[in-house]
Structure 1
Amino acid sequence: MIIINKILNVDDYYFDVFMSVSEALTGFPVNELQSTGLAETYYTHILKKLEAATFEEFLTVSMNIFEKSSSPEQLKAAIASEIMDNPGMNEMAVQVITLWYLGTWEGAYINDLSYQEGLVWNVMHAHPPGAKQPGFKSWAIQPVNSNL
C-alpha cells in the first residue's frame, strides 16, 4: 500500500520517468506532451488500470535505461533491447504509445480531451473531426506535403 500511495503522487520521480519514457517512445518532446493537458490524467489512469507493481517495474526499467545511456544512440539501443524486445515491457510500451497517439487505453478513449489531443492529429497535420475545426478558409490552403 505504501508504494501505491507514493506512486500516485505525481510530484514524485516516477512521474518524471513516465514523461521521459513517453518522450522516448513517442518522439515528441516532454513540453509538447505536457501541452496536451493530459500527462497527469494518463499517469493516474494507467495506475488505476494496472497493478502498481507492474507499472513501477516498467518505470524502474525505464529509469535504469536513462541512467546508463549517455547518448541518444545508446538510449535508442537500450529501449530496443530492454523494453521493445522484452514481451512484458513491450506490451506496456505499446499501451503508452497508443495512449499518447490515439488517446485510448484498451480501445476506449480516456475522455473527450484525449480524442482531441491525440498526437496522431499532429503527425497527420489534421484536426480531430467534430472536435477542432481547421478554421475559416482552411480549404484554400494547400495541404502539408501535398504534391498538388
Structure 2
Amino acid sequence: MNAKTLEIQQFLQLSVKLTAFSEFQLQGTGQLEEYYDAVYQIIGEKNMIQLLTTFDKIQDDTGSDEVAFDKQFRAKVLSDEKLGPITRSLIKLWFVGTWYQLPKSWNDTFGLLENDKTYVISPSAYKEGLLWPTIGSHPMGAKAPGYGTWSAPPEIPAID
C-alpha cells in the first residue's frame, strides 16, 4: 500500500468519526479521494500529516474504548487551536460540499494558506453532500426523488 493510499484510508476513518456516517456511506458519495486531494491542497502536507497522526495516536492509545476515544478526540483534535478549525471545515465539507475558509484567527496564528478560500469543491460535491440523507431530502435542482414525492413532507430518519 503506497503512502497516499494509506493516508486516504486514515482520512476516511477520520471522516467516519467526524460525520457519524459509515465508511461504506462515505465511499458511496464518490467524494473521498476528491475531498482528500482538496483538503491536502488547502492545508498542506505538514498540517495533513499532523491531523492524521494525531487521530491515529488517539486510536492507538484508546483502543476500543469509545468513551476514552471521544474524550481525547475532543481535547486533542476538535478543541485544538490548530486542528479544531480544520476539522470543523472538514465536517462542513462532507455535509454541504463546500470548504469554508479557516478563520482569520487561525491565519493570524498559523499563517495564511495560499489555497484556503471558501468554495464548492465540485458540482458533484453539492449533490453528494451528507446534508441530504441527514434531513431525508434531496439536493434542489439535482437528484430529483421522482414524480409526486413532493406531495408528502420529508421524513427525518431515526437516529440509531
Global fold match (TM > 0.5): yes
Structure 2 gap ranges (5+): 101-117
Report matched runs for 1:1-148 at 5 Å.
9=4, 11-12=5-6, 14-69=7-62, 70-106=64-100, 107-145=118-156
Separation in structure 2 between the aligned mates of residue 53 and residue 143 of structure 1, nearest angstrom: 43
State how far apart, in whole Å, the 2-side matches of 1:84 and 1:142 are: 35
Q: Within 2, Cα distance between the matches of 1:19 and 1:101?
A: 14
Dislocated runs of 4+, deviation >4 Å: none
- For these two proteins, the number of residue pairs brought into alignment is 137
Flag structure 1 segments of 5+ consecutive residues without an equivalent: 1-5
Percent identity, please. Answer: 27
**Which TM-score applies when normalising by structure 2?**
0.80
Q: CA RMSD in A?
A: 1.5
The DSSP-based 3-state class of the residue aligned with 1:135 is: coil
In the alignment, residue 83 of structure 2 is paired with which amino acid? M
- TM-score, normalised relative to structure 1: 0.86
Asked if structure 1 preserves the Cα contact closer than 8 Å seen for 2:137 and 2:154, the reply is no
